[in-house]
Amino acid sequence: MAYQVVAIFKPDPANAAEEVRRAESTTAVLRERSGFISFDVMKPDEETVAVTQHGTSQHAFPDGMNGMREAAGQLPPPIVTIHETYSGEVAVSVH
């Protein structure tokens, strides 16, 4: 069964575009990782950035995150004030 992670970030509005840029810059690394299915970045309003990562298994997510950390070297300082993460097996998916 596929596995999905949804992360909701609440950066300062002045940093929302930077948070989107950071998320977008990870796509090339994620695409190369084992178990990758999809990665989406959404900006529903000026104070929210939502990211979804869809993988073939629960193990694909940490593998993708480790790959991003390896590629980035030292991670940039955080710009998010609130961060919520939800994850679990995908019950229904329509493509």
Q: Is residue 82 part of a domain?
A: yes
Q: Is residue 40 part of a domain?
A: yes
Number of domains in the chain: 1
Domain contains 39: yes
* Residue 95 falls inside a structural domain: no
pLDDT at 75 (0 to 100): 52
Tell me the per-residue pLDDT of 52-78, one tens digit each, with 9 for 90 and over: 888 888 877 666 666 666 655 555 555
The pLDDT score that the predictor gives to residue 81 is: 66
Asked if 48 contacts 9 with a C-beta cutoff of 8 angstroms, the reply is: yes
What pLDDT, in 10s, does the model give residues 10-23?
888 888 888 888 77
CATH of residue 49: 3.30.70.100
- With a CB cutoff of 8 Å and minimum separation 6, the contacts of 89 are 1, 2, 3, 4, 58
94 lies in a domain?
A: no
Range of the domain at 33: 3-89
Mean pLDDT of 33-39: 85
Distance from the Cα of residue 87 to its chain's centroid: 11
* Ramachandran category for residue 39: left, alpha or beta (phi over 0 → left; psi -120 to 50 → alpha): beta
Residue 84 lies in a domain: yes
Query: Residue 53: inside a domain, yes or no?
Result: yes
- The answer to whether residue 76 is domain-embedded is yes
